Amino acid sequence: MQPGLTERIATVVQLSPPANALEFKGTWYSWKDVSSTMAQLESLLLSAGQKQGAPIGVLLRNRPAHVACVMQLLSSRRCVVSINPFQSPEKVAADIKKLNLPVLVADTDDWAQPAIQQAAAETGAALFQISQQETLSVEAINGHQQPTGQNHHEPLPDTCILMLTSGTTGPAKRIKLPYKSFAISLMGVPGHYSSHNEQDEVALKSTPAVLTTPLVHIGGMYAAMAAITSARPIVILEKFSVDEMRRTLQAYQPKLVALPPTAIRMIYDADVPKEDLSCLLAIRMGSAPMPSDLHESFEAKYGVPLLDSYGATEFAGAVAGWTIQDHRKFGSTKRGSVGRVQPGVEMRIVDPDSGEELSHSTPGLLEVKTSQIGHSDWTRTTDLAEIDEDGFLYIRGRSDDAIIRGGFKIIPADVVTILRKHEAIKYACVVGIPDQRLGAVPVAAIQLQPGFSDINLDDLKLYLREHLTSYQIPVAFKILPEMPRTPSMKISKHDVTQLFLNERAQ
């Protein structure tokens, strides 16, 4: 029988207790340290009356004690309820009140926020504090060892994570991620599409994985737990920085890392020496589209393949992606694709209205069928896409992004592509806002390239008229010092929209 997620975690932590498990800011914590922290949390949860299926809120930061706590919650078949600590304290407090969980786990830094303290106390949750200094620790806050509130969130016995979506196009939602789906995504189906199978002997790996994506995002959670279930130690980057990435590459020589396009841009712009990346066979990327000019320039400069992928929180990870073999054969001719469907997954493109399957290279709505979801039905996404004759998937935008301006449909990605080709523009985001006469109109936020302090908007509009039809041209522009971003480093379209709406309301 294929070992489950809970059994795999329990096996890994006992393989070699003194060995290095988690590195954070140059300090290593052993598997024994991790196991001790897991045991501390288990004792506190049992004392608080929390059994299998109990929903436990965790303000997830990229820190070793947080990883250890997630490991224990999953190995004991409780439910991790992810809470985003990168919001303002007031928004975190509102989230805590809305969830009304029986237990909340947070770092000492987060409990230092009065708004978070007050909201947690009002819910009557048991409150646990985690930290990482010389050792990892988790302890109950005095006076809050037991839940005392009423009508706490119901148990979720089959859900491993109540996971936040990325929140790119609107406020982040929570999706129930079943234990079975996450286990299949991490460890595969025996004999089908994963190197894991029931005969595998799990052994500790020597080269660590590098965690660069926030744990609160499915990409970070997947990366961390994929490393744990394959018995690989992890170097944890609390927040991506070029200097920390260079240190990690030089110290541990990993062959593969996963980075969002924003981090790849930071490395390129910092002019990191080629030899600093010489250990890498490839860089996996995802979470946001990669501009084709950056893709080509990065690979030409460093000689490291950039392997894009496609997935979603609903799918418990990636369902399509590039392999090194595909990159060698098709890298120059399939630029812009997110790769081919993974084994065990089916994809098709359908007409949004009729549902009829469309032919190769015809744009439509993407539908996915995968065992990672836990059922055999087709799942319709909101992604506009096409699949070519070789099976390569191209994401062309989102159907729910489309702006209908006086009956004309505008795909924001088309406008962003043209904006980013302007020499002065580094990043751009186009969204629709309501208009009484036309229904909706496009507006654009832009971030300028280094060396440009301003841009003439009249000249910019003339440039756009050379490349776009008149109805595609944004009616308003905002020049921002930095684009608002989600925890997964995507540009937050929701926040950009609010900037324009708030200005209108003033």
Residue 222 domain flag? no
Residues 356 and 481 in one domain: no
The label of the residue with tokens 């926040």 reads: 495
* Residue 191 pLDDT level (bands cut at 50, 70, 90): very low
CB atoms within 10 A of CB 113: 18
Residue 142 domain flag? yes
Residues 172 and 270 in one domain: no
**DSSP bridge partners of 427:** 447
Residues 388 and 426 in one domain: no
β 126-132/136-140 pair status: antiparallel
Q: Tell me the pLDDT of the chain averaged across its residues.
A: 89
Closest-CA residue to 72 (of 48, 56, 49, 93): 56
Residues 424 and 319 in one domain: no
Residue 258 and residue 283 in contact, taking contact as beta carbons nearer than 8 Å: yes
Residue 59 domain flag? yes
Last residue of a domain, one of 331, 366, 399: 399
Read off the CATH number of the domain in which 110 is found: 3.40.50.980
Residue 133 domain flag? yes
Measured CA to CA, the distance from residue 457 to residue 3 in angstroms comes to: 60
Measured CA to CA, the distance from residue 426 to residue 271 in angstroms comes to: 16
Closest-CA residue to 172 (of 162, 185, 180, 182): 162
**DSSP bridge partners of 209:** 234
The tokens describing 319, both together, are 């369902």
- Which strand (E) or helix (H) includes residue 130? strand 126-132
DSSP state of 471: G
Residue 324 and residue 307 in contact, taking contact as beta carbons nearer than 8 Å: yes
Residue 444: give the domain boundaries. 402-505
pLDDT, tens only, 461-480: 999 999 998 889 999 999 99
Closest-CA residue to 421 (of 403, 396, 446): 446
Residues 135 and 16 in one domain: yes
Measured CA to CA, the distance from residue 224 to residue 246 in angstroms comes to: 20
Residue 442 domain flag? yes
The tokens describing 172, both together, are 């982040």
Residues 86 and 182 in one domain: yes
Last residue of a domain, one of 135, 162, 187: 187
Residues 164 and 45 in one domain: yes
If one counts the domains in the chain, the total is: 3
pLDDT, tens only, 158-183: 999 998 775 544 556 788 888 888 88
Residues 109 and 89 in one domain: yes
Burial 179-193 (b: 16+ CB within 10 A, else e): bbbbbbbbbbbeeee
DSSP state of 404: E
The label of the residue with tokens 């199978």 reads: 197
Residue 215 and residue 60 in contact, taking contact as beta carbons nearer than 8 Å: yes
Residue 115 and residue 89 in contact, taking contact as beta carbons nearer than 8 Å: yes
CB atoms within 10 A of CB 132: 24
Residues 257 and 393 in one domain: yes
Is the pLDDT reported for residue 199 higher than 50?
no
Please compute the mean of the pLDDT values over residues 340-347 and round it to a whole number: 89
Measured CA to CA, the distance from residue 395 to residue 363 in angstroms comes to: 9
Predicted local confidence at residue 506, as pLDDT? 72
Please compute the mean of the pLDDT values over residues 24-45 and round it to a whole number: 97
Angle 421-426-428 from CA coordinates, rounded to 5°: 80
* Residue 448 pLDDT level (bands cut at 50, 70, 90): very high
**DSSP bridge partners of 234:** 22, 209
**DSSP output for 446-471:** EEEPTT-----HHHHHHHHHHHS-GG
Last residue of a domain, one of 380, 399, 418: 399
C-alpha distances in Å from residue 106, one per residue of 30, 116, 219: 22, 10, 21
Residue 52 domain flag? yes
Q: Which residues, at least 6 apart from 277, have a Cβ–Cβ distance to it below 8 Å?
A: 249, 267, 302, 304
Q: What are the two backbone dihedrals, phi and then psi, of residue 188, each rounded to the nearest 5 degrees?
A: 80, 175
Residue 33 and residue 51 in contact, taking contact as beta carbons nearer than 8 Å: no
Read off the CATH number of the domain in which 366 is found: 3.40.50.12780
Residue 234 domain flag? no
Residues 395 and 407 in one domain: no
pLDDT, tens only, 75-121: 999 999 999 898 889 989 999 999 999 999 999 999 999 999 999 99
Residue 161 domain flag? yes
Return the higher-pLDDT residue of 229 and 343. Answer: 229
Residues 349 and 429 in one domain: no
Read off the CATH number of the domain in which 420 is found: 3.30.300.30
Predicted local confidence at residue 178, as pLDDT? 87
Q: Is 506 exposed, middle or buried (0-12, 13-18, 19+ CB in 10 A)?
A: exposed
Residues 268 and 383 in one domain: yes
Predicted local confidence at residue 505, as pLDDT? 77
Is the pLDDT reported for residue 157 higher than 90?
yes
